[in-house]
Amino acid sequence: MKKLFTVLCLAAMMITATVSAQKEGNIWYFGSHAGLDFNSGTAVALQNGALWCNDNSSTVCDANGQLLFYTNSDTVWNRLHQVMANGTGLLGSTTSGQCGVIVPQPGTSKYYIFTNAPFLNSTGLNFSVVDMAGDNGFGAVVVKNAQLFPYTSEKLDAIYNPSDNSYWIITHPYESSYFLVYKLNSGGLYITPVISDSCAMYGGGNPNGYNAIGQMTISPDGHTIASGVLYSGFIELCDFNMTTGHISNSRIISDFPNPWGIAFSPDSRMLYADKWWTDSVFQYNIYNPTKSAASFNKVFVGHATATNSFNYQAGYMQLGPDNKIYIARYQTHYLAVINQPDNPGLECGFVNDGIYLGATMSTAGLSRTPLASPQLGFVATGRTTGSEIRAYPNPSDGHFTLICPAEWAGEAIVVEMADMVGKKVALRHFKYVDPKMLSFPGLKPGVYNMNVLAGNRSANLKICITR
């Protein structure tokens, strides 16, 4: 038993070290030569970017936050800000919304660049492959423009799947009611996608096809996808199964003209959205056990302003490594910032001139990087169908926020913490309030089982503690 305990503790420490080192999204290059560096814990403007992109770009670092390369889905630049070997002529577009995302192939020196062509274009979704072993460690494009699907919408995102050390890459075809979900693991890319249940139709939208545009984003806990559909004026929410890649349970937030930027708060309870051609930014509290879109509370939180000849205003949104949400403002030297996005309403801390970019400028987009891991970790089911119990951030330093179903308010709750061999190491008794702050400062780094008990109901969550 002692030997087993030692092995399990070592495994837990290895998991903890791997999670805590994930800083692949700590540098962004975007817009008109703009950049941000998050490695200090605070966003610092960069002035050395070679990139220009009207919409979203993608940047990737190594696990320690050191720049590897970046792309506008047409050209790839290495860490010296020079065009990478064979790094031109990718079939994305600098004006194609979510035009590109860089996804590491686990356990290898290779990175896949997924690119979206503009909507109404048969080029669709393609991938290219960068091998960082090429060009003396500066990287080289070794596969270019392999097509996965024609006529996609301008929607593209990716997330790490911890259940089997893989990534999910998600897109949505144009003139379709289905999402396509591709898997990338150490063995390569599965070119046959997981196809969703039938969801909302993304088609039409005046002669220009404007229902193909509007941001699509995965929640940090990996359980919800939100997508703006511009011309029809609605936001679609769907459930995402992190284990299987399947998407289901479409719900519509209606009467939202010209949805453009979309972002989730770090705890995945708040959804933020803005409207193209206006500067208004709104918040929806989407945490509801019934998951009924009609019950979501909409609050105006601020103006993300811009002055230019196109009358473009608030652009795409992106959750940063510092757990703040950044909002592009077209042709300005500032980004808007939501400083406390977990907080409701005006308490979210919206600031229009949130960060100064110096001589560089914002355009409509920011830098996209797959979430390194679901920030809320594991989810257990409570007594109400579809409700969830959450603990976040996960991993953490021993301080968690516990979210239980709304109907548990005021009930006596017991939380038991057990190590990986079943030994109980901590116990908490309290009456539940939403949210509930829990602290386990004395626990050593490792992986624990958190058992949450309320009467005859219970749930188990896997918790990781780091220092």
Which range (101-110, 305-314, 382-391, 418-427) has the least confidence? 382-391
Q: What is the DSSP letter of 396?
A: B
pLDDT in tens, 6-21: 333 334 433 433 333 4
The continuous run of DSSP H or E covering 11 comes out as: helix 2-20
Q: Is the pLDDT of residue 61 over 90?
A: yes
Helix (H) or strand (E) holding 16: helix 2-20
At residue 434, the pLDDT reads 79
Pair of tokens at residue 203:
């088609």
Q: What is the pLDDT of residue 182?
A: 97
Q: What is the mean pLDDT of residues 145-156?
A: 91
Domains of the chain and any CATH numbers: 23-368 (2.130.10.10), 380-465 (2.60.40.1930)
Which residues are registered as beta bridge partners of 229? 234
What is the chain's mean pLDDT, rounded? Answer: 86
Average pLDDT, stretch 386-398?
72
Q: Is the pTM for the entire model greater than 0.85?
A: no
* Averaged pLDDT, 405-410: 81
Q: For residues 12 and 89, what is the distance between their CA atoms, to the nearest angstrom?
A: 44
Cα separation of 212 and 228, whole Å? 9
Q: Which residues are CB-neighbours of 160 under 8 A, at least 6 positions away? A: 166, 167, 370, 371, 372, 373, 374
Whole-angstrom Cα Rg for the chain: 22
pLDDT-based confidence at 121, cuts 50/70/90? confident
Burial (0-12, 13-18, 19+ Cβ within 10 Å), 460: middle
pLDDT classification of 77: cutoffs 50, 70, 90 = very high
Whose CA is closest to 347, among 358, 359, 356, 339?
Answer: 339
**441-452 confidence digits (pLDDT tens):** 888 887 788 888
Specify the pLDDT at position 372. 61
Please state, in angstroms and rounded to a whole number, the distance separating the CA atoms of residues 339 and 353: 12
Tell me the average pLDDT across 87-99: 86
At residue 206 the predicted structure's pLDDT band, cuts being 50, 70 and 90, is confident
Contact 319, 266 (CB under 8 A): yes
CA quadruple 437, 442, 448, 449: dihedral sign: negative
* DSSP single-letter state for residue 4: H
Number of helices (H) and strands (E) in the chain: give both, helices first: 1, 36
> How far is C-alpha 375 from the geometric centre of its chain's CA atoms?
9
State which H helix or E strand residue 15 sits in.
helix 2-20
Among 203, 94, 89, 226, which Cα is nearest to 153's? 203
Residue 349, amino acid: G
